[in-house]
Amino acid sequence: MTTISRRSMLAAGAAGVTLFNGPWRHNRVWAQKSAKPILIGLTHDASGQFANSGQDEQRGTVMAIEEINAKGGVLGRKLSYITADTETTPATATRVAERMINRNEVAFIVGAIQSGVANAIGQVAQKYGVVYFNTNSSSPTEAGKDCQRVKFVWDGTGANFANANAANVVNTFGKKWLLLTNDYVWGHNTSKATRQTASKFGAEMADEILVPVGTRDFSPILLKVQQIKPDVVAAAVGGDDLKVMQKQVVDMKLARQPAWLQNQLDWPDVYGLGVESVFGVFGTTWYHKLDLPGVADLVKRYQARWPETRIDVPGNVFYNGYMAMHELAKAIERAGSTNNIKVIKALEGHKMAARDRMQHFDAYIDPVSHHVQQTIYLASGNDKPVDKTDYFKILSQVEPDKAKDPNEAANCKLQPYDKTPTYEM
Amino acid sequence: MHGARLVTPSMLVAFAIFGTLPFWITEIGLYRYLGVEILIWCIYALGFNLLMGYAGLPSFGHGAYFGIGAYACGLAQFELWANLWFCLAAGVVAAAVFGAVVAAFISHRRGIYFALMTIAFGQMFFFIASKWTSVTNGEDGLLNIARLPVELGFWNYPIRGNADFYWFVFACFVVCVVALWRLVNSPFGKVVQAIKQNEARMAFLGYRVALYKAVAFILSCAVAGFAGALFAMAQGGAFVQVMNLQWSGVIVLMVLIGGGFVSFWGPVLGTVLYFVARDLLGAYTEAWLLWFGLMFMAVVMFKPEGLAGIGQDALRKWRGLPRAPAAGWAWLRR
Amino acid sequence: MDLVGYLLPHLLNGIALGLLFALIALGFMLIIGVMEVINLAHGSLFALGAYAALALLAGEGGPRPELLGWFLQLPNVLRYALALVLAPLAVAVVGMGLEICLRRTYGKDPLYGLLLTFGAALVIEELIRLAWGPSERFLPVPAAITGGVAIGELIYSKYRFFASGFSILMIGLLWLFLEKTRYGALIKAGAHDSEMVRALGVNLPRLRTLVFGFGTALAAIAGIVMAPIWGIRPHVGVDAVVPAFVVIVLGGVGSFWGAVLAGLMVGMVVGLTGAFATDWSLISMYILLILVVTFRGRGLFGKKSILEA
């Protein structure tokens, strides 16, 4: 069923794009006219570990493009898009980015789930000066050490979620903590942030267990967790490992004792597995049952546009893609041009009203790190779901500046403007 | 066989095609970076075929050495000396050293046990690279690896753009092709091929079989490391994914589908097919691997000699000769 | 805390894990041991088994879910038991089709069989993705075998006991079949002395097709049993085929008990490193393999086979 929707989406993309940019012909017919569409390169994973999330953010970016076009486009130009599978593989992502820029001549590139892919695309984009939106990779290094002048980071990072959650969890559940850290960069950075913040509120770290990437059996770890008897297990486990861990924790009914603090749960990773598969306390940037104006309407539009997808309601991954694309259009409008430097300046420091973003607090694009500083929600599994999509219970919302990563600004060194080539399509 | 001629007609054809590629690749709807990538993978595949096609030793963990070459290139550039030749040499030497350690364990093995040990070592290197984040930067990747200028003492030439970088990779390709061609036609190459056909007999004749196998393995690792170093510069970074099992399988697939068993040029044909098919199929369907997998199965079933085999048949037919003699395939039949 | 009390749960867990590794390797072992084909599609068939069971148990996906309506009305336990039989049968049909393709590689370098199954693995995985989509799935199992059970101070997973017990059952049944039945004898003889078997009037190609089907059915069974532990996703097969490989090489190609013992060793090593040096728990099985094969060229109990050529 998903297949059909993907196919029809592809068909739509193909009709709009490949007619003009078929693989064998370089068509410059639009270049002569001012009404040339603004071509967006969508680099969403369609295979590999993050295929499911990649397709979800694609639903977000595509739906935003359609809405923008329905209102007449930007600067009198329509938006069109091409998609390419980045396969959750940096080598592929580099090639895709080179191809989109050199052959398809895209104006902007949008999309990423994994930090290696985001970095691979970001490097190519920076080389040519193409503005690139990392929609969903939440590695703290994305807006820190690996930040770039052309790259903007739209998801909350591991550090944001750790900052937002830690204080609350120490007070509610106790001070003896155990860190479960996926043994890769995201895991390490996230656990480091958790350790920093939680220690500030009096938590003591009993141990840190490094979970190798690709772990499929958590039984030795779960036994050890029981032997250590912590009050709180702070898990920075991601990707397939997280799905496997959730399953095994839930199966053993270890979900309530100890208390689990998970960094972030992506909606495509949990939706469809049943409400009971969600446990512990975790962060998110958006939820489809937030009691805010516009949310219910967005859910309706999503369901009308994507009736056949298995994910019945929009989640955070969709949301980040959707919001990023709308903000891109607005930035082009403000800049009055698709010139990269003008668009970058229109984005840097830009404030986004809470109402427009359907979050509780105003958000802004940090001019120092190019990171969208936004409301972070603290949520838990829902013990009183009102319907079959109601997985989360939103516990509280944290203002952007309270969730902000204190190390981000120091770690991020954006390239100067004059080292960024001018680019305009 | 063209004996040990330094340059063969087929080489000239290949050099003519790849040497003019930047002038026409955009005209057929592709792009120069793809050309860069294809050439680098051709080098990698040619080196791999030294092991698989000529020595008959299938390695399913070769991505590890490609990746080691890439990391070594980047680290040499950041930590030691930002010089093109030095970084490339670092890639070659690092891959060869790791290859030598592995060869010490596996050069006495044959067939499946050889293949499986290469998987085990490949997986170990992959895990260590993903785990050792202070050196490799893990899944974020070792970023900002520069395309260093070509320094020839009297003349410096920057290769930052895709076109300039392509010319440099092309020069590397030419050198590798000539060197590998010489190697497979050298006495060493003949012994290695004889070992493939009958290891016991060669051992009986007094050849130190394990040593020859080890050298073939190390050379092939060194070429993989060289290609990896080039790839790190092409991509501007080194990432761990190329070291995983899937990508190690892809190189086997490319070499076989091209016909590495019957032709020196098989790996090149396979690499070109793989990248072009992927780019074109990938533009139309997300399930391109399905079609590629089916094509691959069909080749293994109906034409295990691969593209090169098809080409050879066509050439023979054109010249009015009978199809490939079965006798040349005796070693396959046992 | 005393050391024994601390270690014991991990030792027991290691054995349980080892039984699961052995179960994952059974189908792979049969095909490599009897037919001397390295079936790289083992993982994809493992995944296909899990998806077939998903179609039967949850009515999800597959080409025509509506055809399964009557089946979905049956009680949960019965459906689960039936799924354990029907899904492997369906996968066996796929496996037998693959064997017919494989015939063209017989008598050639074993590498060709390996490569053909590698291609098949890609194809099956992509087909799964097209039929069921890329998202994570959940295989419902009867409530009786879910949840935790407290032994002493610690909680263990009930399902894991079921899975380990089931794998002992499968190992036993397979051994009885191979050693104590006429078919088992024929299968073993067919591998090593095809002339003799043919002289007995047995249709050898058909026998090989059936053996391959049987091996893939075992892969599917392992997929169904592992699904509640590992989850189901299109690329889940990679997680199965690599350990299967390790177990077989460690145990030695062609040795039944070698594979079982190797499975237990791998489980023990992964279980113990998982508890005491967790970050090394995935590499540990490769280190074990390299150590053993360095000193014993054919693994623990390996026999000489054409796969060494």
Q: With pLDDT > 70 as the criterion, what percentage of chain A qualifies? A: 92
Residues A146, A181, single domain; the answer is: no
Query: Would you say residue A10 lies in a domain?
Result: yes
Cross-chain Cβ contact A212/C16 below 8 Å: no
A185 reaches C (C-beta below 8 A): no
Closest residue, chain B, to A98 (C-alpha): B33
Token couple for A72:
């007449």
Q: CA nearest C161: which of C266, C5, C16, C33?
A: C16
Query: Would you say residue A409 lies in a domain?
Result: no
Range of the domain at A384: 159-284+376-403
Residue A152 dihedral angles phi and psi, to the nearest 5°: -125, 135
Contact indicator for B45, B59 with CB cutoff of 8 Å: no
Q: From CA B307, how far away is CA C198, in angstroms rounded?
A: 37
Highest mean pLDDT among A173-177, A334-338, C186-190: A334-338
Residues A254, A382, single domain; the answer is: yes
Chain C 49-68, residues with CB within 8 Å of chain B CB atoms: none
Task: Check residue B323 and give its pLDDT.
Answer: 59
Residues A262, A389, single domain; the answer is: yes
Contact indicator for C120, C101 with CB cutoff of 8 Å: yes
Q: Band the pLDDT of A24: cuts 50, 70, 90.
A: very low
B278 reaches C (C-beta below 8 A): no
Cross-chain Cβ contact C290/B120 below 8 Å: yes
Residues A192, A237, single domain; the answer is: yes
Least confidently predicted of A28-32, B133-137, B184-188, B202-206: A28-32
**Virtual torsion, Cα C53, C58, C60, C63, nearest 10 deg:** 50
Task: Check residue C67 and give its pLDDT.
Answer: 64
Task: Check residue C239 and give its pLDDT.
Answer: 87
* pLDDT at residue A30 is higher than 80: no
Residues A268, A392, single domain; the answer is: yes
Token couple for A355:
């109402």
Contact indicator for A316, A270 with CB cutoff of 8 Å: no
Crossing angle, helix B63-75 and helix B111-131, to 10 degrees?
30
Cross-chain Cβ contact B137/A139 below 8 Å: no
Q: CA nearest A400: which of A370, A375, A377?
A: A375
Q: Give B307's contacts (C-beta < 8 A, 6+ positions apart).
A: B257, B258, B259, B266, B269, B270, B273, B299
Q: What is the largest CA-CA distance in chain A?
A: 71
**The residue to which tokens 């994952």 are assigned:** C24
Give me the DSSP letters along A69-94.
HHTT-BTTB-EEEEE---TT-HHHHH
CB atoms within 10 A of CB C169: 11
* pLDDT at residue B1 is higher than 90: no
Query: Would you say residue A306 lies in a domain?
Result: yes
Number of domains present in the structure of chain A: 2
Residue of C245, C253, C279 for testing the chain B interface, max B β-carbons within 10 Å: C245
B101 reaches C (C-beta below 8 A): no
Cross-chain Cβ contact B162/A102 below 8 Å: yes
A242-266: b (≥16 Cβ within 10 Å) or e: bbbbbbbbbbbbbbeebbbbbbbbb
Residues A329, A381, single domain; the answer is: no
Q: How many CB pairs under 8 A join B and C?
A: 119
Strand partners, B238: B142
Residues A252, A349, single domain; the answer is: no
Residue ranges in chain C modelled with pLDDT below 70: 1, 61-70, 190-194, 304-309
Of A24, A90, A127, the CB nearest to B239: A90
Query: Would you say residue A417 lies in a domain?
Result: no
Given A328, A353, A374, the domain boundary residue is A374
DSSP 8-state secondary structure symbol assigned to residue C233: -
Mean residue pLDDT of chain A comes to 87
Neighbors of chain B with 3 or more C-beta pairs under 8 Å: A, C
Query: Would you say residue A421 lies in a domain?
Result: no
Of B29, B37, B284, the CB nearest to A26: B29
CATH number at residue A207: 3.40.50.2300
Chain C 142-161, residues with CB within 8 Å of chain B CB atoms: none
Rounded mean pLDDT of B249-269? Answer: 90
Query: Would you say residue A419 lies in a domain?
Result: no
Cross-chain Cβ contact C282/B253 below 8 Å: no
Residues A123, A165, single domain; the answer is: no
* pLDDT at residue A7 is higher than 50: no
User: Which chain B positions have a beta carbon within 8 Å of A188's beta carbon?
Assistant: 133
Given A374, A391, A414, the domain boundary residue is A374
Q: Give A192's contacts (C-beta < 8 A, 6+ positions apart).
A: none
Tell me, what's the ipTM? 0.86
pLDDT, tens digit, 9 for 90 and up, residues A398-415: 999 988 988 889 999 999
- CA distance readout (Å), C260 to A153, B48, C215, C251, C294: 50, 35, 16, 7, 20
Chain C 250-289, residues with CB within 8 Å of chain B CB atoms: 253, 279, 282-283, 286-287, 289
Residues A266, A384, single domain; the answer is: yes
Rounded mean pLDDT of A132-156? Answer: 93
Q: From CA C1, how far away is CA C200, in angstroms rounded?
A: 64
DSSP 8-state secondary structure symbol assigned to residue A398: E
Task: Check residue A417 and give its pLDDT.
Answer: 93
pLDDT, tens digit, 9 for 90 and up, residues B57-110: 889 999 999 999 999 999 999 999 989 999 999 999 999 999 999 999 998 887
Task: Check residue B334 and give its pLDDT.
Answer: 29
Q: Give C194's contacts (C-beta < 8 A, 6+ positions apart).
A: C204
Q: Which helix (H) or strand (E) element contains residue A373?
A: strand A372-373
Query: Would you say residue A111 lies in a domain?
Result: yes
* pLDDT at residue A98 is higher than 90: yes
Q: From CA A83, how far away is CA C82, in angstroms rounded?
A: 43
Give me the DSSP letters along B214-253.
HHHHHHHHHHHHHHHHHHHHHHTEE-GGGGSHHHHHHHHH
Residues A129, A223, single domain; the answer is: no
Given A374, A393, A412, the domain boundary residue is A374
Query: Would you say residue A412 lies in a domain?
Result: no
Residues A271, A316, single domain; the answer is: no
Residues A137, A245, single domain; the answer is: no
Contact indicator for A157, B102 with CB cutoff of 8 Å: no
* pLDDT at residue B291 is higher than 90: no
